[in-house]
Structure formats: C-alpha cells, structure tokens
Amino acid sequence: MSKIAARAKALEFSPIRKLVPLAIAAKKRGIKIYHLNIGQPDIASPKLFLDGVKKFSDKIVAYEKSDGNEDLKQSLIKYHRRLGVKFVSSDLVVTFGGSEALAWAFFILFAAGDECLTLDPTYTNYLTFAAQGGVKLKPVLTKLADNFQIPPLSVIKKAVTKKTKGIIITNPSNPTGSVYDPKLLSALVDFCVKKKLFIIADETYREFVYGKTKFRSLLTFKKAEQLVVSADSFSKRYSLCGARLGLLASKNKAVMEAANKLAQSRLAVATIDQMAASKLHLVPQSYFKKIKSEYVGRRDELMQGLSRIDGVTFSRPDGAFYLIAQLPVKNAENFCKFMLNKFNHHQETVMLAPAEGFYVTPGMGRNQVRIAYVLNRRDLKRACELIKLGLSTYSG
C-alpha cells in the first residue's frame, strides 16, 4: 500500500477542533454543551452584508477577478485609511479567509528550512501553515504571570539565528487576549528593520481592545513598510466566519506579485460574498462600540466566575475574546475529555480547548485551557459553574 508524504503525517490536529467527535457523541446522548472552545461569535452580522447577498440578481454566478472584486478593494482602502494606512489597489489581494492569507505569507516570505519567530503561546494554525512550507516556527515564550505581554527585546534577540527570516505578531493575541505595548512593538520593528526580518502582522481583532494599552497597527510603521505583510480577516471583525473573506496586504511589490500568482492558481474568491462585503466600510463605528461593550461585560463575567474556582488562575485579556486559564489538574486535555465523556450536571457540560496545542515550546500549557468568551453572560456564568463542578469531581 502506498504511503502518504511524511510532511502530511507530521501535521497535528487543531486543539480547537480535535475533541469535536466527543462533543458530537455527547450531544447524541442528549447533553447540552456550552462551547467555549472556538471563536465563533454569536454577534449578528452587519445588515449591510446580509442585504447585499439578497440583492444579488445576476443570472450567472461568474468568476471574480483573482485578486479581488474592485469595489471590495476600494472599500478596504477606505477602511485602512481610518487606521492611517494609505493602500492602493495593487497592495491588496482578497483571500479565502485570513487562513489563506496566512498560508500564503509563510509560502511567499520563507524558504524551506527558514525560521519564523512567534510569541508563545500562539495561534495554533500557524504551526500548520509553517509546516506546509517547510518553515520552522520558533517560539519566544510569554508567561501567564506577566499577562502574556511581549517580552523585552533582549529575549527576542536571543531567539534569532542565521536561519531566522521573520516574525509573526498577533495583536491583539489569540489565544491570550494580550494587547502589546506600542513602545515594545516600536523597538521590535527597529530591530526587524536592522536585521531585515519580515513581519507578518495578524491584527484580526484590532477592533476589540478594552484595556489601558493602546493598539498600534504594524502597518503604520513607515520605516518597515517593505517588511510588513498583513494577513487579515473579516470573520471576527464583522462576525462573518462563514463568509470566508480575508486579505493579504503589503507595500512590498515582490510579495504582492507572488500573491497574485497564487491567487490566479486558485482562480477567485466567492463572487457573491465579495459583492456583499463591498459596502462594509459603511458599517458605523457604533456597531463596533456596541460589540466592544458586550465583550467587556462577557470578559468580566467570565473572570468573576473563574475567580470563584479554587486553584484556577488566568490571564486578564485586554483585547480579542480569549483568555488562558490554568487549572488545578496535571493534564488539561484529559480534563476536557472528561467533561465531554463522563461529566454532566442536569444534562449540561462545557467544551474547552486544551492550551498545550497553542504552545510551540514542548511541555508548556499542559495544565491550561483557552476559553473563548463568545457566549452571552448568562451562559458564561453557567459554564463557570459547570467547570467548578467538573473539577470537584475529576480524579485526574
């Protein structure tokens, strides 16, 4: 029997979804599950987008331009102008979600055997995108005790080798919810410019910043505009996870030329979705203000609930809608399985994401979970009660 490639066998399942079969089995047993494992917001998508889908009236759903619908690109140019970033159409390529943009960034910027730094814990799918291109993701460890803040530049410098060609920065962070200090970011940018290191900017959650630390986009550092490549997404900003719309953007002409070649090889992103999204720059700031307020309330509800559980410590997120919680168990994945396989209270349980899969550093995060506070406050309160009950009955 023929064997598949070693690189394919080496890939890991996502910690966000790996326990899905257990959840499906639990639901078949009549168990209600509070899903805290995945960043699927319950926020309503903008009416502008939904109305746009309904208005599509062409008799043929034809291919769009490979690099993206021009109306959508102009909408994105207007959106970025509010951030203080001046893009032109050729700086942008519309992608199938942020995932395709990230995969392309790794493919374009790095050769097989190159290293890319990442702040650890990191977004778990970076591991897969890097592996597809034969790139080694090298961790720079951040700690719960420091609220997962970006470490001093001296720590990052020590991680750099001759093989290091870039760094990926997720700000605000998934999975920790950290927002990085602009002064530390500025020092990091200066270092990358000096060393000619590419910077992949994943700022998917930039609309959702709550704390005292102010967000600054890496796209606003003029000195680094030839090194910064933005991999962006519509999924969380507009609660459009299923629309699968993203963006690769850079002032670097060679990067965007390569992106256009990749875009042509997969033909085009969905025509109707792009057309419907071309008015999203008109979504009022009040939309984001309302959502932000809701997430702050949910974050506070979750932290209050977790603080009532003996032995649990957790980060304080200043952005996005995730936090990392450390549990009084040796193996958090086993606890997550227990909650789906064996535990329920009044036919209800909780699904969490084991945090070990978000770390590149071996052995880290084994007793931690990532929690996505994407449920309403009442459900989050109940979920915390279930976690507390689960821990009290879990033998490990």
Kindly list the averaged pLDDT for each block of 10 residues, start to end, along the chain of length 396: 78 76 95 94 92 94 96 97 96 97 97 97 94 94 95 95 98 96 95 98 96 93 97 95 96 98 96 96 93 96 98 96 97 97 97 96 96 96 98 90
- Do 321 and 244 belong together in one domain? no
Question: What does the alpha-carbon distance between residue 264 and residue 255 come to, in Å, rounded to a whole number?
Answer: 14
Sheet with 313-314, strands from edge to edge, namely: 313-314, 322-326, 368-372, 353-354
Over the Cα atoms of the chain, what is R_g?
21
- Residue 353: inside a domain: yes
Whether residues 239 and 160 share a domain: the answer is yes
Alpha-helical regions (H) of 149-270: 153-159, 182-195, 253-265
- As a whole number of angstroms, the distance between CA 181 and CA 178 comes to 9
Q: How many beta carbons lie within 10 A of that of residue 156, not counting itself?
A: 19
Judgement on whether residues 173 and 309 belong to the same structural domain of the protein: no
117 burial type by CB count under 10 A (0-12 exposed, 13-18 middle, 19+ buried): buried
Check if the beta carbon of residue 202 is closer than 8 Å to that of residue 102: yes
Quick one: how far is CA 128 from the chain centroid?
A: 13
Number of domains observed in the structure of the chain? 2
Q: Residue 396 burial (CB < 10 Å; 0-12/13-18/19+)?
A: exposed
> Is residue 103 located within the same domain as residue 180?
yes
Q: Is 91 part of any domain?
A: yes
Phi and psi, residue 352, nearest 5°:
-120, 165
Single pTM value for the model: 0.94
Are 366 and 271 part of one and the same domain? no
Q: Is residue 155 part of a domain?
A: yes
Q: What is the CATH number of the domain that holds 222?
A: 3.40.640.10
Cα dihedral sign, 373-379-380-386: negative
Among 266, 282, 298, the domain boundary falls at 282
- CATH, residue 324: 3.90.1150.10
| Spatial distance between the Cα atoms of 155 and 158, rounded to a whole number of angstroms | 5
Give the end of a domain, one of 249, 282, 315: 282
Kindly give, in sequence order, each residue whose CB lies less than 8 Å from that of residue 223, ignoring residues fewer than 6 positions away. 189, 190, 193
Asked whether residue 1 is assigned to any structural domain, the reply reads no
Could you tell me if residue 347 is inside a domain? yes
Q: Are 72 and 91 contained in the same domain?
A: yes
Q: Are residues 122 and 189 in the same domain?
A: yes
The C-alpha atoms of residue 70 and residue 259 are separated, in whole angstroms, by 16
Give the residues across from 324 on adjacent strands. Answer: 370
State whether 109 and 135 are in the same domain. Answer: yes
CA angle 113, 119, 120 (to 5 degrees): 95
Element housing 251 (H / E)? none
Domain match, 219 and 321 both: no
Rounded-to-5 percentages of helix, strand, coil across the chain:
40, 15, 40
Instruction: Decide if 36 is inside a domain.
Output: yes
* Domain endpoint, select from 227, 260, 282: 282
231 and 162 share one domain? yes
Helix (H, G, I), strand (E, B) or coil at 168: strand
Specify the pLDDT at position 15. Answer: 67
Whether the CA torsion 116, 122, 127, 128 is positive or negative: it is negative
Which residue reads 């910027």 in tokens? 109
CA-CA distances (angstroms) from residue 248 to 92, 109, 183, 207, 327? Answer: 6, 12, 26, 18, 37
Q: Which residues of 332-341 are buried (b: 16+ CB within 10 A; e: fewer)?
A: bbebbebbbe
Asked if residue 336 and residue 308 are part of one domain, the reply reads yes
C-alpha span between 210 and 319 (Å, rounded): 6
The tokens describing 135, both together, are: 């790139």
Q: Is residue 154 one of the residues assigned to a domain? A: yes
Q: If we measure between CA atoms, which residue out of 269, 298, 247 comes closest to residue 73?
A: 247
| Separation CA 58–CA 168 (nearest Å) | 41
- Structural domain range at position 199: 47-282
In a domain, 114, yes or no: yes
Residues 202 and 114 in one domain: yes
